[in-house]
C-alpha cells in the first residue's frame, strides 16, 4: 500500500472525464488501468466497516480500497489517477489518504483529508457528491496541492496538468501524454456531453499504439483497462455502471440514495 510512495513509476495509469449533461446531472467516468495479469483477480467490494462510512470500491488483491474508483454512503464519488511524481518526501502514504477520504461526509471534508496533511506520493482525484452541484479536480503531491472546481467538461490522463503545479517534476509516459492529447482533441469537437459520450471516449482507440482504451499485450506501461465506471449524480442519487470488455452491457450497476 506504499508502493507509489517508494517507487516513482508504478503500473497504474487511468483516465477520467467529468462534466455536466443537459439535464444538469454531473457525470464522472473513469478507466481503471492496471496490470493485465490482475484482470480476473480484481473485485468490486461493498464494505461496511465497524467504524466509518460504508462504500463500494473497485479493489486490487492485496491493496486497501479507495485508490481506484469508489462511492460512499454519503454519495461522494472519488476516482483516482496515478501521478508519477519524482520527489516524494516523508509523509502519509497516498493510498492511506485516499482510503481516509471515503469517510468524508461532504466534498469539502474529502478535499481537506486529501490536501490538508503532509503526504508522500501523488494522486489525482475527481470528486463529486449527490445533492452538490460542484465537481472538483484535485492534484495532490508531496510538494503541494491544487484544487480546481470544474466548470466545463474535463479530462485527465494521469499526469499533472494544473498550472499551479507546473513546477512539480514528474514522469509523463508516452501513453499518458497521448491519452491527454486525445482528450483535448475530443473536448474541442465533442458531441453534447452525457454518460454515453463519456463511455465512448473512454472506449476510444483512435491512436492504435497509445489508445485511451487499453487492451494491448505489449502496452508500453504494462497496463490494460480493467474496468470502466460511469457515475451519474443528481440531487438525490448516484447511479453507477461498471463495464468490462463488454462495452455495451454493464457488468455491475447500483445506486446510492440521499
Cell of 57: 470500491
Is 251 among the domain residues?
Answer: no
Cα–Cα distances in Å, from 63 out to 13, 41, 60, 136, 246?
A: 16, 12, 6, 25, 26
For residue 252, being part of any structural domain is answered with no
How confident is the prediction for the chain on average, in pLDDT? 96
In a domain, 149, yes or no: yes
- Does the reported pTM lie above 0.75? yes
Residue 15 forms beta bridges with which residues?
31
**What is the structure's pLDDT at 10?**
61
- Is 225 a domain residue? yes
Q: Confirm whether 171 is domain-assigned.
A: yes
- Give the Cα separation of 249 and 234 in Å (integer): 22
Supply the range of the domain harboring residue 51. Answer: 3-244
Domain annotation covers residue 57 = yes
Task: Tell me the per-residue pLDDT of 235-255, one tens digit each, with 9 for 90 and over.
Answer: 999 999 999 999 999 999 999
Strand residue runs (E) in the chain: 15-20, 26-34, 43-47, 55-59, 69-72, 76-83, 122-129, 132-141, 144-149, 154-156, 224-233, 237-243, 252-257
Residues 6+ apart with CB under 8 A from 148: 136, 137, 138, 162
What three-state secondary structure class fits 154?
Answer: strand
Residue 194 has φ and ψ, to the nearest 5°, of -155, -175
> Would you say 40 and 77 are in contact if contact means Cβ atoms under 8 Å apart?
no
Domain for residue 24, yes or no?
yes
185-223 tens-digit pLDDT: 999 998 899 999 999 999 999 999 999 999 999 999 999
Q: What is the CATH number of the domain that holds 29?
A: 3.60.60.10
Overall number of domains in the chain:
1
Residue 179 in domain: yes
Amino acid at each position: 500500500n506504499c508502493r507509489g510512495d517508494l517507487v516513482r513509476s508504478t503500473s497504474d495509469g487511468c483516465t477520467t472525464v467529468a462534466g455536466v449533461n443537459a439535464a444538469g446531472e454531473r457525470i464522472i467516468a473513469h478507466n481503471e488501468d492496471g496490470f493485465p495479469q490482475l484482470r480476473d483477480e480484481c473485485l468490486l467490494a461493498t464494505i461496511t466497516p465497524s467504524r466509518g462510512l460504508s462504500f463500494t470500491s473497485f479493489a486490487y488483491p492485496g491493496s486497501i480500497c479507495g485508490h481506484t474508483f469508489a462511492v460512499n454512503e454519503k454519495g461522494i464519488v472519488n476516482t483516482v489517477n496515478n501521478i508519477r511524481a519524482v520527489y516524494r518526501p516523508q509523509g502519509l502514504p497516498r493510498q492511506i489518504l485516499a482510503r481516509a477520504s471515503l469517510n468524508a461526509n461532504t466534498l469539502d471534508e474529502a478535499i481537506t483529508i486529501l490536501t490538508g496533511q503532509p503526504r508522500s506520493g501523488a494522486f489525482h482525484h475527481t470528486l463529486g457528491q449527490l445533492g452538490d452541484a460542484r465537481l472538483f479536480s484535485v492534484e495532490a503531491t508531496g510538494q503541494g496541492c491544487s484544487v480546481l472546481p470544474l466548470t466545463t467538461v474535463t479530462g485527465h490522463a494521469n499526469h499533472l496538468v494544473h498550472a499551479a503545479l507546473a513546477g512539480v517534476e514528474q514522469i509523463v509516459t508516452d501513453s499518458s501524454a497521448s491519452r491527454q492529447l486525445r482528450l483535448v482533441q475530443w473536448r474541442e469537437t465533442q458531441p453534447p456531453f452525457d454518460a454515453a459520450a463519456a463511455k465512448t471516449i473512454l472506449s476510444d482507440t483512435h491512436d492504435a499504439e497509445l489508445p485511451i482504451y487499453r487492451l494491448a499485450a505489449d502496452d508500453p506501461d504494462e497496463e490494460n483497462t480493467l474496468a470502466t465506471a460511469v457515475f451519474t449524480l443528481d440531487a438525490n442519487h448516484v447511479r453507477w455502471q461498471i463495464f468490462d470488455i463488454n462495452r455495451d452491457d454493464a457488468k455491475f450497476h447500483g445506486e446510492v440514495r440521499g
